[in-house]
């Protein structure tokens, strides 16, 4: 079986890896700064050169490679291989021919996929989702990304936009989300939403050790700091994660009722809070679903860490081009 290259187009770094598709293992990888402010043409040239440099340094022959998969943070035209809207990159990349450009530079067939759908694909095939036919991934960090596997198939929806779980409405009277909707899960349970709850508590002078831990500099309050306070027994910090887990549990309950997943996987930095988040999430999900066997639905942490995206993107290219081998 040929090896594939997985690439991650991040706002800060470009990352590329050679992946063994039989076991989903990264054999070699490298990364460079994206320097996104230079614009999409320069970034694509840097990505192409990064991939060529990786191939050379890994000692892999081009003929041993089946293709390249790129995880992209935004909306894509999968048929044309173009980016349509990348909200976190300067210029937002409308109608940028990313697939064709990388194919021209590298002479390898290339496939695009949303970055969190790439994580979902990787975790399902080689990580926490192995062995189930229907799974959900929440990637919780600065925002909340998502992905769905339904009946042993990565669910793409219209143009690859299926699975934007962070933008499910969980409170129709809720605050405005960055996407323009109101009451999205992302507005309640993302990293910044958790940090904001901690900032508010300290600013209001409530009894909590969070202020001491950040030396009363509100800008230093992070989900990790609040988790540390909670693990040390801080009652208010625990309440913040109880609330966050409740919101995630409501979203999980909706998914149980709609697609009946066998496993719900939490990825991203915020998921490192572990049972602070998982326990209230499980409790809420089980309390709110009675029309399917919710006790059979597992909520588990992701397993592939930072490699999930590049592994999943490489696997997507293999899915698209593997029959050509």
Q: What is the pLDDT of residues 191-245, one digit of tens each?
A: 999 999 999 999 999 999 999 999 999 999 999 999 999 999 999 999 999 999 9
pLDDT (mean) for 259-279: 97
DSSP assignment string, 2-60: -EEEEEEE-SSEEEEEEEETTTTEEEEEEEEE--GGG-HHHHHHHHHHHHHHHHHHHT-
What's the whole-number mean pLDDT along residues 96-119? 97
Domains and CATH numbers, the chain: 3-121+306-324 (3.30.420.40), 129-302 (3.30.420.40)
Measure Cα distances from 237 to 143, 200, 206, 224, 226 in Å. 20, 12, 11, 11, 6
Helix 223-231 / helix 191-203 crossing angle, nearest 10 deg: 70
Cα–Cα separations (whole angstroms), residue 6 to 27, 271, 304: 11, 24, 14
Per-residue pLDDT, 325: 62
Quote the tokens at residue 97.
Answer: 């021919």
In which band, very low, low, confident or very high, does the pLDDT at 183 lie, cut at 50, 70 and 90? very high
Burial of residue 262 (CB within 10 Å: 0-12, 13-18, 19+) is middle
The 8-class DSSP code of residue 177 comes to P
Q: Is the pLDDT assigned to residue 323 strictly greater than 90? A: no
Question: Rounded mean pLDDT of the chain?
Answer: 96
Residue 292 confidence class, pLDDT cut points 50, 70, 90: very high
Q: How high is the pLDDT of residue 174?
A: 96
- Which has the closest alpha carbon to 70: 82, 55, 58? 82
pTM for this entry = 0.96
């Amino acid at each position: 079986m040929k090896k594939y290259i997985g690439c991650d187009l991040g706002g800060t770094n470009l990352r590329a890896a050679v992946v063994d598709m039989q076991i989903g293992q990264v054999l070699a990888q490298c990364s460079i700064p994206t320097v996104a402010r230079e614009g999409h043409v320069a970034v694509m040239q840097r990505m192409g050169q990064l991939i060529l440099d990786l191939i050379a340094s890994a000692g892999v022959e081009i003929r041993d490679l089946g293709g390249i998969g790129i995880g992209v943070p935004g909306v894509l035209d999968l048929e044309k291989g173009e980016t349509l809207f990348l909200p976190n990159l300067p210029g937002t990349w409308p109608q940028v021919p990313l697939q064709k450009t990388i194919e021209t530079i590298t002479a390898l067939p290339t496939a695009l996929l949303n970055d969190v759908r790439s994580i979902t694909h990787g975790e399902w095939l080689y990580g926490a989702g192995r062995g189930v036919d229907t799974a959900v991934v929440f990637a919780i960090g600065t925002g909340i990304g998502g992905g769905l596997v339904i009946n042993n198939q990565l669910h793409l929806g219209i143009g690859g936009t299926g699975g934007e779980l962070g933008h499910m409405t969980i409170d129709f009277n809720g605050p405005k989300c960055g996407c323009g909707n109101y009451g999205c899960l992302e507005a309640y349970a993302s990293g910044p939403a958790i940090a904001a709850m901690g900032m508010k508590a300290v600013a209001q002078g409530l009894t909590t050790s969070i202020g001491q831990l950040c030396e009363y500099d509100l800008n230093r309050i992070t989900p990790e700091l609040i988790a540390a306070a909670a693990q040390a027994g801080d009652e208010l910090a625990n309440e913040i994660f109880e609330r966050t887990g409740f919101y995630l549990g409501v979203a999980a309950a909706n998914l149980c009722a709609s697609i009946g997943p066998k496993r719900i996987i939490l990825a991203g930095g915020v998921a490192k809070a572990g049972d602070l988040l998982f326990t209230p999430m499980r409790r809420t999900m089980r309390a709110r679903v009675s029309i399917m066997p919710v006790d059979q639905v597992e909520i588990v942490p992701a397993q592939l860490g930072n490699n999930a995206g590049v592994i999943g993107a490489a696997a997507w290219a293999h899915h698209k081009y593997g029959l050509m081998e």
